[in-house]
Structure 1
């Protein structure tokens, strides 16, 4: 009953994903993954329950689907964190499973009686033993490789967030971490505890988990419509904004490369932008906006995201996240040291400076000053702090 219930829940979650409005590429991938995972789960159920004897035609068709979970994990995380369209080249990730089906086609197309006999005999023929070993090795290698690839993607995603957002408290990576850890756990069962019951139970929990939480996920980095003209055709390159993800491709067409291989930003232009950035921050204190992003700041300066990011990285040796929060800390230091603000709480001052949570304030304050806010508040004159501007 438990096994059948997990399949029903998995199918229900697939329906929820299918009717989810405004589906992005990641949603469509997750929906496909959920459907195939449900079919895989049904195949495992037939084996565990012994009902495969009633449906001998289905023997083997679900087993090879183990090869698709790694690619789906990788592609889902990739498209959830990267605003690009799905390309046909991505289908190459599924070549191993296609090849596996070709290897097993002679068995899969057997008549039901012969198929059942071969299965009950444990594939005793040398051919099936050989391709069985090859298939199992490929499944294990696929699982390991794609879990590692997903971890690399998550690391890049974390860095990407720090380059775009000044506040990350509302951006949780836990969903992606759970996704990776969960599938890694299943591979542990497959490798070290290859019992059908344990694999089925862990897979059931995981499939229901990804379906339930996947319905609620949204893409953080949105795809925007931008001009496709190359930089060599665009004389106003540094004053026209475009999507960050497309910047390297366009900038690569420009000569006079400096630090960034794809950029033509000269030292003089970088210095001009640097001074302009310092000026607008000192005058307008845009960092006090807790929702400030790289795109919003670049729009204020009439710059491309990529150009502004390059200037911040090269001039301040910081990510956008660290740059903005260092300014917020600097402003907090000034306000806390000002006697007229002694009646305000630390948290109210932090919120006024652009922080949106106590934890974010404490973490960044300690990072840039070496002391906690409460220590500084007691003896503000004893603290030597980093000045962002």
Structure 2
């Protein structure tokens, strides 16, 4: 059984038909020439086709999408926001499972089929948030591929029992072990990172570490991460989220970017608007894998976020100062194929200016956008999208299939 999507324009190019099986793009054919026997036919209606979105940094457990607006109450500093979340998550108008399931549904209807969500594990919530995210993943298992990070947001060693909880989260189905700001949260970077990498080694999993620390402090923590990645032979298994320390145009930051490329340590960004805007072009040119994420959405940290990765792509382009069409296309490539290459290290790394993900053999993961061109899609963020996962339509015009 296969699917033929007719009348689509890969990256806004000429009209064609695309043949998919459940794994990959099988054929790209002239309009009307694709084999249709025993096929599911989908009319692309002239839409632009690009790889589906990959939200590689989100927090499904803390979102409040679809619930009444709640003004932000946390103080500006990181630990105050963490504690504000802790004080309020139980009083949300819906359970973690329901909120995570709804947020994932929105992401899918907007065109995302690959998601990496952090699930908080700490002495206050125990495994409740992880269980909610795992339940959401199960609900949408046929519509999206979801990775879950066991995320010790309050640190691993500030409170008793968190290391054991994190290990239990990995046993229950989390795919990666997380970490956060080794110097400023646990205030013992060696112990923190030794624990993270020990858990990764014990469970044979990857690592994804939040690194908000700026400047020299962040570069120091990053150097400890790269040191362990090299010593433990974990090249290709580590991701650093945010990495605000790379935003400064310094010799040390540029040297760190080159080392990330050498060790195949990936980066994720949320396209921050006020600080920490990463040098995306330099990162891509160095050969570092980089993807885009929504982060928290209408949660106790921030009132922003709506589940739409195309909207976040616009934010990436805007904060990078992109104006010309090739740069806008590259922002879309980061949000789609770039994130895919973070999640699947067998996928090719981005090259600025290339339009990846729609060649024969590429994954059967697409989003169809009703736009004049790929760049216009970024700027206009039109509705009426079609989401394709494992070669079949899983959402259309805002509704799940």
What TM-score do you get using the length of structure 1 for normalisation?
A: 0.20
Higher helix share: 1
Q: If you compute each CA radius of gyration, which structure gives the higher value, 1 or 2?
A: 1
Greater RCO between the two (CA within 8 Å, min separation 6)?
A: 2
